[in-house]
Structure 1
Amino acid sequence: MKRDEALIALSRMTLWLALFSLLAFLLVATPRSNAAFDPVGVDFWVDSDMGPVKTRVFRAADGNTQRVVYALDGMWAREDLNGWEIETEVARTLTENNINVVLPVGGQSSFYMDWDRPSYLPEGAVSDIAGDSAPDIGPGKSYTYTWETLLTRVLPAALHERLGLSPARNGVIGLSMGGSAAFALAAHHPAQFSYAASLSGYLNPSAPGMRGAISAAMVKAGGYNISCMISSPTSDKWQWMDPMFLAPALLRNGTELWVSAANGVPSEAGEPSKQAAEGSALETLSLTNSRSFQTRMTSLGATTVTYDFPSSGVHAWTYWEAQVVKMLPVLSGAIG
C-alpha cells in the first residue's frame, strides 16, 4: 500500500514539474521564423462567420479527389501560412503519395473550436515576451472563433463544390494544440474523418493543472482568454474537446488513430540546442498526456490505435515531420 502511494505521489510530482517547466518555457517562447512559401499550393478562400478565411490546398500527384488530409497547426498559428508549409515538406511528401493536402491558415490559440464569445485579454495578463499587452482586435477578438464549423461544414462543402475533393473519409493530423483538436474533430464528425493523428498533443486536458497551463499558453500565444473559449471548467464543452472523454466515441466510430510523443531528450538529428531546451518541457508534458490516453484506450480494448513514442525528441517540427513519414502506410490505408 505504501509503495502504491509512493508511486502515485511520484507520478503527481512528475506532472507538476512538467507543468512548471511548461509555464517557464512560455515566458521565453517566441514565434516561428520567416515563412517558406510553396508555389505549388493554391490559396483557397471561403466566406465564414469569421469572415474570409484562407486555406492552402495541395493536389495529389495522380489527380484523385478521394484521398484528403487536413493538417492542423499549433498555438502560434499565423495568418499568412500554416506551420506545416512554413517549417516542413509534408505537403510535398503527401502529394507525392497521392494524397490531397488541406492546410487551414490561422486559428492562433483556438484549439479549432467554436468559442463561446470573442476573446479579450484577461485583466492584468501579459501576452508576449516584450511585456506589452496584446491587441484587443484581430482574429478571434473582433469576432467569435468558429473553427469547428469552418472545418466540418463550410470548408469541406466548398472544397467539394469547387475542387471536387471528397468530404468523407478524410484524415486529420494535428501537432500540439492541433493534436487534441484532431481527435475531437474525428470523434464528433466520424463521416468526415476516418483517420486522426496526434503529434505531441495534449490528450488529457482535464488532468490536474492542465487548464491553468493551457490558459497561460493561450495568454502568451496572442493574448487569448480561455474563459472566452469555454466559459466554465465544469461546462460540458470542456469534455467536448477532451480526448479522454471522447475515447469511447473514437472507439465506436472505428477511427484509425496515431498517437506520438517523444521523451523530451534531444537527439543528434534534433533542433538547435536552444530550441531543444525550450521544447523539452512541452514534449515531456505531451508524453504524460499521451500515455494517459493510451491507458484509457487500452482499458476500452481499442485495436485501431498506433502508438509511437520515440526514445528521443522534443517539441519541434523535425520530429513531427518524421512522424508523418512514418505514419504514411497506416494513413494511406485509412482514407479515401
Structure 2
Amino acid sequence: MSRRAVQAATAVAVCAAAAFVAAPPAAALSPDQLRPNCTWASEADEAAAVQTCAVYSAAMNRIVLVQIRPSTLAAGSAEHAVYLLDGISVPDTRSTWADADSGALAAYSNSYNLVMPAGGAGTWMTDWQSTPAGATGTPGASAEWETFLSTELPAYLADDFSVEPGGNAIVGLSMSGGPALTIALDHPEIFTVAQSLSGFYQTNNPVGWFVIPAIQSYVTGIANGNTAMWGDPLGPTSTWSAHDVSARIGEITASGQRILITTGIGVPLPQDFLIMAITGNPVAFVSGVAIELGALASTLALNAQAVLYGLPVDFSYTVGLHSWTQWSANAGANAAAVESALAAADSPTTSSTAPRTSTASAAAIVSTTAVVTTTPPVQTSAAVSSAGTTATGSSASSGDAGPVVASASAESESAVSSTVRQTSTTPSVPSADPILAPGTDSASVPTASTAH
C-alpha cells in the first residue's frame, strides 16, 4: 500500500474515532414511548408522560394498574424509582399521586421513574393472612400487596423500564405511611430510602387493634380486618408486631437506610376554610383536623423514641390538615428530601450513622401556630440537647387514617426544640374523596381538603 493510501486510511480512522468520541450518549427509550402493556389513560397523562401499565400479580391473581412516569436519563444510566403509595380511598384504576394537582409530577425531577400503584383501598398495603371480606362475609379481592410491591412490581420495572433492583425509594401517605416504612425495613436490598407522610406508627396495641379495623370497616367496608389482615392480635399467628414501626425502627442502625417522617400539626391552611365554604361540608374539615392530630401524636411518640436511642431518622412538622391541601403544598420539599436522601445513600462518602432527628413538643407546636404566615415553606433546625447532637429537619407531609396513639412524654419532649415549617397558601388544591365520607360522589366536590 502506498504512503498516500496509508495516510488516507489513517485520516479516515482518526475522523471516525473522533466522531465516535464526540457523539452524545444515546438516548434511552423516550418517556413518550409506551412500554409493554401500557397505555395513555388521557391526553393529560400523555402530555405528562404518565403511562398506565397493567402489571399481572400472580400472588393476587389479577391485574394491578400502575401509573408510571419514566425517567429521561440517557441509555446506560442507572435507573432508579420512587414508589408512591396512596391512601385509604385509592381506587383500583388510578393513583391520586398521578394527578397533576398532587404536586408530585412537578416536584420530582426526571432523574427518577415515578411508580404509582392504584388499588389496595383499606388493605394497609400488606400481605393478608386471609382474604378481606365484606359485612356479609363475601370475600373481596385477594390482598398480597407487600409481595406485589417487593417482588412482582420490581421485576416488571426491571424488564420494561430498566429499573435497578436496589437503590430505590418508597413513599407512603396516611394509611400507607407506616407500611411504607415496614416494607422498606423488610426489603433493604430494594429500598434505601423510605418516607412517611402523616402516618401512624404504633399499631400493636389495643388502640391499633380496635381503630384500624374500625376505619377499614367504615371507609371501605372490610369487616374482618381485625383477624384476617395480621391475625388475631392475641393469637399465635399474630404478625401485628412485625408491622409496628415503633417496634422495628431500631433496625435502620444496621441497615443504613434513610427514614424521613413528616406530619402536619392539625392547623388549617386558608384554602381549607375556602374549600369548606365551597363544599358546605364541615365534617371533612373537622375530621381532617382530628386525624392529623392523631398522626401528630403518633409521630411525636416515635420522634421521642428516635431521640432517646439516637436513631438516624429525619422528622419534620408543617401546618395543615390530614388532606391533599397540605401534601400538595409541601410536595416540592418532600420530593427534594427523598431525592437528596437517595443521592446521599448513593455517595460512598456519606455517613448514615449520625442521628438526624428533630422533634417538637406539643406546647412548642401550639405556640408556633401564632406566627404562621403566607410565606413560602421554611425549614428550621433544632438542637437536641439531651442527645448531645444537632438535628436537622426534613420536609413534611402526611397520610391516611390509622390508630390514634398517645403523644410523647413531657420529659422526652422538653429535651428538644421545635421544628415547624411554615407552609405556602397557594390556591392549587387537588381532587380527593373525603376520608370520612364513604359514598361521597367526588364529581360533585370541585376541590377537596380531606385525605385519601
For this structure pair, what is the TM-score category when the shorter chain's length is used for normalisation?
Answer: 0.7 to 0.9
**Residue ranges of structure 1 left out of the alignment (5+ in a row):** 1-34, 124-134
- 2:197 corresponds to: 199
The 1:289/1:36 distance shift into structure 2, 3 A limit, reads: farther
Matching residue's letter, 2:314: T
2:286 and 2:97 map into 1 onto residues whose CA distance is: 22
Shift of 1:211: 2.1
- 1:90 corresponds to: 104
Largest Rg, 1 or 2: 2
**Residue ranges of structure 2 left out of the alignment (5+ in a row):** 1-41, 277-281, 347-452
Alignment RMSD: 2.2
How many residues align? The count is 284
Shift of 1:250: 2.5
Contact 2:70 2:110 survives alignment (8 Å)? no
Shift of 1:255: 1.4
1:285 and 1:321 map into 2 onto residues whose CA distance is: 20
- 1:120 corresponds to: 133
SS at match of 1:321: helix
Shift of 1:222: 1.8
1:45 and 1:252 map into 2 onto residues whose CA distance is: 36
Matching residue's letter, 1:83: T
1:36 and 1:147 map into 2 onto residues whose CA distance is: 29
- Where do residues 260-275 of structure 1 align in structure 2 (5 Å cutoff)? 260-270=262-272, 272-273=275-276, 274=282, 275=284
SS at match of 1:209: helix
2:289 matches 1:287: no
2:310 and 2:92 map into 1 onto residues whose CA distance is: 41
- Where do residues 150-165 of structure 1 align in structure 2 (5 Å cutoff)? 150-165=148-163
2:179 and 2:248 map into 1 onto residues whose CA distance is: 11
1:251 and 1:90 map into 2 onto residues whose CA distance is: 29
- Where do residues 149-188 of structure 1 align in structure 2 (5 Å cutoff)? 149-188=147-186
1:270 and 1:253 map into 2 onto residues whose CA distance is: 40
The 1:297/1:236 distance shift into structure 2, 3 A limit, reads: farther
Please give the per-residue CA displacement for 1:99-146, whole angstroms capped at 9, x wherever unaligned.
2100011001111111011111356xxxxxxxxxxx935xxx14x311
Matching residue's letter, 1:284: L
Shift of 1:36: 11
Contact 1:264 1:281 survives alignment (8 Å)? yes
Contact 1:36 1:85 survives alignment (8 Å)? no
2:51 and 2:122 map into 1 onto residues whose CA distance is: 25
| Identity across the alignment (%) | 25
Among 300, 309, 326, the residue aligned to 1:319: 326
- 1:44 corresponds to: 53
Shift of 1:328: 3.3
TM-score with structure 1 setting the length: 0.78
Shift of 1:293: 1.0
- Where do residues 233-272 of structure 1 align in structure 2 (5 Å cutoff)? 233-234=233-234, 235-270=237-272, 272=275
2:56 and 2:253 map into 1 onto residues whose CA distance is: 34
Contact 1:186 1:250 survives alignment (8 Å)? no
Q: Which is worse superposed, 174-183 or 200-209?
A: 200-209
SS at match of 1:79: coil
- Where do residues 10-89 of structure 1 align in structure 2 (5 Å cutoff)? 38-39=45-46, 40-48=49-57, 49-50=59-60, 51-63=62-74, 65-86=78-99, 87-89=101-103
Q: Which is worse superposed, 144-153 or 248-257?
A: 248-257
The 1:265/1:208 distance shift into structure 2, 3 A limit, reads: farther
Please give the per-residue CA displacement for 1:257-288, whole angstroms capped at 9, x wherever unaligned.
11111121202244623333221111010111
Shift of 1:37: 6.0
Please give the per-residue CA displacement for 1:172-209, whole angstroms capped at 9, x wherever unaligned.
11111110011011111001111111101011112442
Q: Which is worse superposed, 215-224 or 248-257?
A: 248-257
1:73 and 1:37 map into 2 onto residues whose CA distance is: 20
Shift of 1:61: 3.5
Please give the per-residue CA displacement for 1:61-113, whole angstroms capped at 9, x wherever unaligned.
4355523100001111111101212451302321x352210001100111111
2:339 matches 1:332: yes
Q: Which is worse superposed, 70-79 or 326-335?
A: 326-335
Among 300, 311, 314, the residue aligned to 1:306: 314
Contact 1:183 1:196 survives alignment (8 Å)? yes
The 1:157/1:243 distance shift into structure 2, 3 A limit, reads: same
Contact 1:65 1:100 survives alignment (8 Å)? no
1:36 and 1:151 map into 2 onto residues whose CA distance is: 28
- 2:375 corresponds to: none
TM-score with structure 2 setting the length: 0.59
SS at match of 1:237: coil
